[in-house]
Amino acid sequence: MTNATILIVDDEPANLSLLKHLLSPHYRVRAVNSGSGALRAARMAPRPDLILLDIMMPEMDGHAVLKNLRAEPATQDIPVVFLTALADAGDEERGLDLGALDYITKPIKPAVLLARVRTQLEARRLREWMRDQNDFLEAEISRRRADDELTQLVSIRALAHLAEIRDPETGHHILRTQAYVRELALHLRPHPRFAGFLDARNIDLLVKSAPLHDIGKVGIPDSILQKPGKLDATEWATMKTHARLGAEAIELAEADAAHPVAFLALAKEIAHWHHERWDGSGYPDGLAGDAIPVSARLMALADVFDALVSPRVYKKALSFNAARRLIAAERGHHFDPDVADAFLAIEAEFVTIATRYHDCEAILGAAPDGATA
């Protein structure tokens, strides 16, 4: 670093003169004769690449100067080497504790001075190179992570839309239910029953995995999936298998992955059990209460609300008020009571989402007061 800038701090003119004479042929040298002057000079551009700092100075000694340098973000990383005639090991330890990198003892030996300075400047250059490499690697990792997350998101949406294409009446069902699940999770996050699970990471995974809740419908025949009327008992039994089919499909994807994929675990829970009911009367396994995973309990309410306020060929859309009354009536029956209470507390957010992502044919739901039971 022949273009490096070195700041010399010493209250003795003879020492300053000697140091400038030895260092000037190799480096840019600035010299000051006091601690306060050292602090001012260290802030000036270009900032020094190395400071040679005398310890024994009036008013502000080298230890005080170093402490001040380390306290300021602009100067805290400048390497400092003490110049001292002291032989007390305690002084050396104090200086090293404050952040000095080395000592050069007086009287100055030219070869030792130049070797120590060169070593510290090379070490600084290496630290800066490593920092730049780390910054580059962190940026590259962030870029690749963003690319991976985008690829993952697109893949999830593509798979979810595959099921949606088979059932064209669902429209923007994926976007709406995904948003409902997010709002429920955020509202329930501080709740004692849910706080241990609904941290920021799991909420993010829930939102990512929610679109796959009906992926199993790709295994349901069109004659059932697109039937314009009510399903008979046999058809309904076949329709209910979509929960198991979805879980099995996601399980196969997990088996193909080189390592566990967290969002797939939640996606499998949601696909498998989002039709379970709090009172145990749901399907496919008749789970009840807390045996139903939290992820599936949130999706259960989101899915039912969207079905209630969405038009189908076999039914009209209910008003938002009518949907609210039905969900309130199912508190403790179909739905976890606390999840139902969360919905009732943030119903306005559900209405906003439903309206924002309404299907092309009609705005979801009737006017709030125009219930269609």
The CATH number covering residue 64 comes to 3.40.50.2300
Backbone angles phi, psi at 51, to 5 degrees: -120, 125
User: Is residue 178 domain-shared with residue 284, that is, in the same domain?
Assistant: yes
193 domain-assigned: yes
User: Is 373 inside a domain boundary?
Assistant: no
Say whether pTM exceeds 0.85: no
- In-domain check, residue 365: no
Same domain? For 214 and 103 the reply is no
Same domain, 224 and 345: yes
Residues 17, 128 within the same domain: yes
pLDDT in tens, 179-224: 999 999 999 999 999 999 999 999 999 998 898 898 888 888 888 8
Asked if residue 320 is part of any domain, the answer here is yes
Residue 232, Cα to own-chain centre: how many angstroms? Answer: 47
Residues 36 and 92 in one domain: yes
Range of the domain at 118: 5-135
Q: What percent of the chain has pLDDT over 90?
A: 48
Q: Which two tokens stand for residue 173?
A: 């069902």
pLDDT band, very low/low/confident/very high, at 363 (cuts 50, 70, 90): very low
Kindly indicate the confidence band of residue 296, based on its pLDDT and cuts at 50, 70 and 90: very high
Q: Is residue 148 part of a domain?
A: no
- The answer as to whether 39 is a domain residue is yes
Pair 222, 304 in one domain = yes
Domain boundary among 135, 150, 180: 135
What is the average pLDDT across 103-132? 86
Determine, yes or no, domain membership for 299: yes
Give the CATH number for residue 246.
1.10.3210.10
Residues 273 and 204 in one domain: yes
Label the pairing between strands 5-9 and 28-32: parallel
Mean pLDDT taken over the chain: 85
Other beta carbons within 10 angstroms of residue 362's beta carbon come to 13
Q: Cα separation of 216 and 235, whole Å?
A: 15
Q: Is 125 in the same domain as 76?
A: yes
Q: Please determine, for residue 145, whether its predicted confidence score (pLDDT) is greater than 80.
A: no
What is the C-alpha separation between 179 and 182, in angstroms, rounded? 5
Say how many domains are in the chain. Answer: 2
> Does the residue 161 lie in any domain?
no
pLDDT of residue 254: 78
Residues 209 and 99 in one domain: no
Shared domain for 178 and 290, answered yes or no, is yes
Query: Is 90 in the same domain as 189?
Result: no
Q: Is the peptide bond before 211 cis (omega within 30 degrees of 0)?
A: no
Tell whether 197 and 278 lie within a shared domain. Answer: yes
Please check the confidence at residue 175 and state whether its pLDDT lies above 90.
no
